[in-house]
Structure 1
Amino acid sequence: MAKEFKRSYKFAFYTSLFVTLFMVTLLIIYQFAYLKIFNWQPIIIFGLGCYVFSFLIIQLRIEHFIYKRVKAVYDKVSLLESSSLEEKQITTDMATLTKEIEKFAKGKKLEIESLKVRENYRKEFMGNVSHELKTPLFTVQGYILTLLDGAANDKKIRDKYLERASKGVDRLIYIVRDLDMITKLETGDLHLYKEKFNIIELVEGLFDMLEMKASKKNISLTFDMDYEQEIIVFADKERIQQVVTNLIVNSIKYGKNGGTTEVSIENLIKNKIIVRITDNGEGIEQKNIPRLFERFYRVDKSGSRKEGGSGLGLSIVKHILEAHKEKIYVESDFGVGSEFSFTLEKVKKTA
């Protein structure tokens, strides 16, 4: 029976019992000493009334007392906002209270751990930004200082150094522009302008634009098959063009000489298609895949830097697709090749 009572009820039960026994004893003594009579009926009625009254008063006062103390504890340790404790009778079971405090303590612990992870990410990010900006800045500074020291008098050296300094400035602009885009995507300041367009035509245009870049490594840009019919999607055309461009450029960058970059488009479900960009390049080790879409994360620290780029391409791809509420997937076998795929909303054909 005791298990059915919460601890405060048990306390009120026994306290009320003691008070009732004491008061009944006084009544019996009073009957014998002063009235010279003994009548059980008034004693039983008095005892029951005294017990019920005592139990209710003691229980209510305990609840009120503990409510005030618990509320004060919550306020001081900031485990729970004061407003979350409603102005009503609450449980005074200390075991329940302990569980509740432990639950919020665990929540705060997880929050602290999350903040630590974010802090480490922020430090790593700031270090990466500093490093990425420092390299082209120092390059530009070095060429300009050399020109100021007298090299400008030699036309050949002057033209060569100015051209290299210009490339350094272009890289700086590229990094800052990509950072600005990611910031806008994350904060929601970059609005999408969705429209209907033919994804096949978009990819064909990118093949033409990137043909010269691919030819330097003798890489073929091709579809997996001849698409005779249009595939109309509903998305921000400019942003999706950027997504496909970044993925094809990456496949060229990490592709092998004489390799292939293949684009395929398949129906996924009724209103979705999946676009796949597959290459037979160097591939990605499994340990690198989870961090692939982080800002400035590079699989090959030296090789990718030689190829240029801001190190933000895949991060931008991920953010653009997330803004479209779409998904991106990666499959890769190291030494064999990689496949990046993403979903898009397909426009239903009208009769």
Structure 2
Amino acid sequence: MAKKFKRSYKFAIKTSAYITVFVSLLVGAFLLFLGNLQWLPMLVFVITTYTFSFFIIQQRVEYFIYRRIKKIYDNVSLLDSTTLRPSQVTTDMATLTREVEKFAENKKLEIEALKIRETYRKEFMGNVSHELKTPLFTVQGYILTLLDGAMKDKSVRKKYLNRASKGVERLIYIVKDLDMITKLETGDLHLQMEDFNIVDLIQSTFDLLEMKAAKKNITLTFDTDYPEPVYVSADRERIQQVLTNLVVNSIKYGKKDGTTEISIENLIKNKVIVRITDNGEGIEKQNIPRLFERFYRVDKSGSRKEGGSGLGLSIVKHIIEAHEEKIYVESVFGVGSEFSFTLEKSKELP
């Protein structure tokens, strides 16, 4: 930033001229009074006085401004004062004004960003609290009931212990998902890259979730037959997790007797895009940008009729980004949603 300052001589030129005129008139009048005024020595005196005044004033003003600006650098942390050199700071205050205005604008943007982050942090903490306290209170309630005497009844004891166990399982599920996201963000969870047929992986995901889909009579299908394998290079286990989370979501929020369809398309020479499309509830436009936030709920009622940790889409996003790929979402409320992500094709067939 300091390199943008330019040297200005206007102040020194004008001030030197004023001083020279005043001193010359004073000396000239004195010599004239003594009767010893000579024009050639007087001209030399004028030039010498002007030149000396100019350099002294220019240097002193620059030094003065340098010290003041350096103090701003040090005290206000406007800039790194180690990058500031006296030769770069001059009487050109317009440049400094522009830089200060630019600094103020940048700080304003930073403050606005911090406010957005603070709002997100508060929402996140509230969501974490909600997700954890529900199973905790459930477990606590059943255990306290048993301690109050219900454990004497064998049938009640078994039922309550099973329900408490489910609450503990939900807590473990949430903690494991949070741990996975943290590892993905910090790079501690290393991907095991391999070449595999994405068509087979999708089919195995369908087989795994067939019974879950059958409860709502939702059909899991490809958009077309894929007689030839489509080989991609990725972490097979993590991509299966991505597919599972996306298909489970489509079943959760899909309409009864609906359809979840997956297609695989060539995107560019070395990429494919996998699309998961459903004809379910759809997502309102204002909720789409925040879908991948941890614990973000489209349903603000706070209910979790469908279960889950609330971290599925966040995990999906982190896994895809860990592969240095992109994930997209398109949705029309009341019509359906489409989630899609890219993968790199295998360079060599396995």
TM-score (norm 1): 0.92
How far is the alpha carbon of 1:289 from its aligned partner?
Answer: 0.8
* AA in 2 matched with 1:19: I
* AA in 1 matched with 2:113: S
How far is the alpha carbon of 1:34 from its aligned partner?
Answer: 4.7
Aligned length: 345
After superposition, residues 1-351 of structure 1 pair within 5 angstroms as 9-29=9-29, 31-34=31-34, 36-39=36-39, 41-301=40-300, 305-349=304-348
How far is the alpha carbon of 1:304 from its aligned partner?
Answer: 6.4
Evaluate the alpha carbon distance shift between residue 231 and residue 91 of structure 1 in structure 2; reply closer, same or farther with a 3 A threshold: farther
How far is the alpha carbon of 1:335 from its aligned partner?
Answer: 1.2
Measured in 2, the distance between the counterparts of 1:233 and 1:189 equals: 23
Cα deviations by residue, 1:165-193 (Å, 9 ceiling, x for unpaired): 11111110111111111122222222222
Flag structure 2 segments of 5+ consecutive residues without an equivalent: 1-5
Measured in 2, the distance between the counterparts of 1:87 and 1:61 equals: 11
Q: Are the equivalent residues in 1 in contact too, given 2:7–2:89 (CA < 8 A)? A: no
More deviation, 42-51/339-348: 42-51
* AA in 1 matched with 2:18: F
Measured in 1, the distance between the counterparts of 2:137 and 2:54 equals: 81
Measured in 1, the distance between the counterparts of 2:124 and 2:136 equals: 18
Measured in 2, the distance between the counterparts of 1:27 and 1:191 equals: 86
Runs of 4+ in 1 over 4 A off after TM superposition: 301-304
Cα deviations by residue, 1:98-143 (Å, 9 ceiling, x for unpaired): 2211111121222122222212211111111111100000001111
Secondary structure (helix, strand or coil) at the match of 1:306 reads coil
Measured in 2, the distance between the counterparts of 1:67 and 1:328 equals: 52
Identity, % of aligned positions: 72
Measured in 2, the distance between the counterparts of 1:98 and 1:247 equals: 53
Q: Are the equivalent residues in 1 in contact too, given 2:331–2:337 (CA < 8 A)? A: yes
* AA in 2 matched with 1:110: L
Measured in 2, the distance between the counterparts of 1:95 and 1:87 equals: 17
Q: Name the residue aligned to 1:3.
A: none
* AA in 2 matched with 1:176: V
Q: Are the equivalent residues in 2 in contact too, given 1:8–1:62 (CA < 8 A)? A: no
* AA in 1 matched with 2:17: L
Measured in 2, the distance between the counterparts of 1:350 and 1:321 equals: 22
Measured in 2, the distance between the counterparts of 1:284 and 1:320 equals: 22
Q: Are the equivalent residues in 2 in contact too, given 1:298–1:304 (CA < 8 A)? A: no
Q: Are the equivalent residues in 1 in contact too, given 2:282–2:332 (CA < 8 A)? A: yes
More deviation, 285-294/190-199: 190-199
* AA in 1 matched with 2:239: I
* AA in 2 matched with 1:102: E
TM-score (norm 2): 0.92
* AA in 1 matched with 2:168: V
How far is the alpha carbon of 1:350 from its aligned partner?
Answer: 6.3
Flag structure 1 segments of 5+ consecutive residues without an equivalent: 1-5
How far is the alpha carbon of 1:259 from its aligned partner?
Answer: 0.9
How far is the alpha carbon of 1:7 from its aligned partner?
Answer: 10
* AA in 2 matched with 1:254: Y
More deviation, 60-69/49-58: 49-58
Evaluate the alpha carbon distance shift between residue 350 and residue 45 of structure 1 in structure 2; reply closer, same or farther with a 3 A threshold: farther
More deviation, 107-116/238-247: 107-116
More deviation, 296-305/269-278: 296-305
Q: Are the equivalent residues in 2 in contact too, given 1:28–1:38 (CA < 8 A)? A: no
Measured in 2, the distance between the counterparts of 1:46 and 1:263 equals: 93
Q: Are the equivalent residues in 2 in contact too, given 1:262–1:279 (CA < 8 A)? A: yes
CA RMSD in angstroms comes to 2.1
